[in-house]
Structure 1
Amino acid sequence: MLKPLTLAAALLLAGNAFAAPVSYKIDPNHTNVVAGWTHFGFSHPAANFGQVDGTIVYDADHVGQSSVNVTIPLTGLDTGVPDLDEHLRSSDFFDAEKYPTITFASTKTEAAGDNKLRVFGDLTVHGVTRPVVLDVTLNKSGVHPLGKREAIGFDANTTIRRSEFGVGKFVPNVSDDITIRITTEAMVPKADAAK
């Protein structure tokens, strides 16, 4: 009787071990953070924020244990118009010399349907931290065919008001509401990189 109980306990522990949260490193080469706005009602420009660095912890069985921490350097800002890039980095907008990064740190994650999540967190822009909510879709998880390691991919979106972060130049002619669209791949770090 003792052996079956011991075996059952071992299997239960093994199952719990596999269900543990997995930590993934964001791949900046397959991550886009795109901000869009309205310019005097005539056009809808966008800026891509590259060079994203961060970690995603995902627990498929206990979504509430999942988290994300991201840093976005403003050196990676790219609108495709160099003069606009410099203007956005200037003190009129991001003041990148004083505030060189944007950060996001999750505070809560909850399920929102099949492959859907809501990620609550603190976004810091221009030295101002405010709560935001990301509507997230899990695209895929599994072994990445190129990296040969466990990987995960998400899309997310939200809308913020830039004036709430002290970046209110030209509002309302240049829209206060900024839409943010994110797509990302993240991979379990190589064993030697984790040391």
Structure 2
Amino acid sequence: MKPLLASTLALALLGGLAQAQSPATRDPAQIPAGHYAVDAGHTQVGWRVSHMGFSNYAGSFSEVSGTLELQPKDPAAAKLSVKIPVASVATTSEKLTGELKGDKWLDAAKYPDMTFVSTKVVPVGQDKAKVTGDLTLHGVTKPVTLDVTLVGAGTNPLSKKVNVGFEATGTLKRSEFGVKTYLPLIGDDLHLVIAGAFERQD
């Protein structure tokens, strides 16, 4: 094969691969309205807390379930409801993970689920919103506001279903939810970073 022809074919293949790997759009007008369900395998709930002021210690929750009613033409009408098993908490320390599940911390046996149900969505520009909702953790329900950014949406080339993803950040005080162990040595502010993935239900 001649070098020029080989180079042209390689560029064409790479271009096609790049398109296949980038099916998403950040234009809300192109996102289908409808009922979406959490894609648990691609949704991550990360958290971070100060460890005695020496470091910012991070962990995660998984196995998220829930629904999203999405109306791109009327973002304020969106409704979100999610449930997170408290026992899914994970850290890089097996000992600490076990402690966090226990009754001195999150008490997963008594309070097995953390939930968030939106009560208000305020659009901020084209692809951002402030989502306020009732967060229930450790048997206590308090309002929490998340800053949400659209990451992208489009047809998943593998499942052939419409996917949409968001990043959400927020901060809550664990003491307000009755989780007060080792305060103030371990920080009160619990910082959340959420990678939320949803799949449209036909």
Give the CA deviation at 1:94.
0.7
C-alpha distance in 1, partners of 2:96/2:195? 23
1:32 aligns with 2:44: yes
Provide the aligned C-alpha RMSD in A.
1.5
**Residues 121-176 of structure 1, C-alpha deviation per residue, up to 9 Å, x if partnerless?**
00000000000001000111121122111110000000000000000111111000
C-alpha distance in 1, partners of 2:98/2:89? 9
Give the CA deviation at 1:20.
7.8
**Normalization by structure 2: what TM-score?**
0.82
* Contiguous gaps of at least 5 residues in structure 1: 1-17
- Contact 1:52-1:72 at 8 Å conserved across structures: yes
Q: What is residue 61 of structure 2 aligned with on the other side?
A: 49
C-alpha distance in 1, partners of 2:87/2:160? 31
Q: What is residue 187 of structure 2 aligned with on the other side?
A: 175
1:143 aligns with 2:168: no
Give the CA deviation at 1:21.
3.8
**Residues 90-118 of structure 1, C-alpha deviation per residue, up to 9 Å, x if partnerless?**
11111111001100000011101120011
C-alpha distance in 2, partners of 1:146/1:117? 29
- Contact 1:36-1:180 at 8 Å conserved across structures: yes
- Write the letter of the residue equivalent to 1:140: G
1:59 aligns with 2:71: yes
C-alpha distance in 2, partners of 1:19/1:144? 13
The alignment covers a number of residue pairs equal to 173
* Contiguous gaps of at least 5 residues in structure 2: 1-29
1:102 aligns with 2:114: yes
Runs of 4+ in 1 over 3 A off after TM superposition: 18-21
- Write the letter of the residue equivalent to 2:65: D
- Write the letter of the residue equivalent to 1:81: S
Q: What is residue 7 of structure 2 aligned with on the other side?
A: none
SS at match of 1:156: strand
Match of 1:76 among 88, 102, 124: 88
**Normalization by structure 1: what TM-score?**
0.85
C-alpha distance in 2, partners of 1:44/1:110? 30
- Contact 2:31-2:154 at 8 Å conserved across structures: no
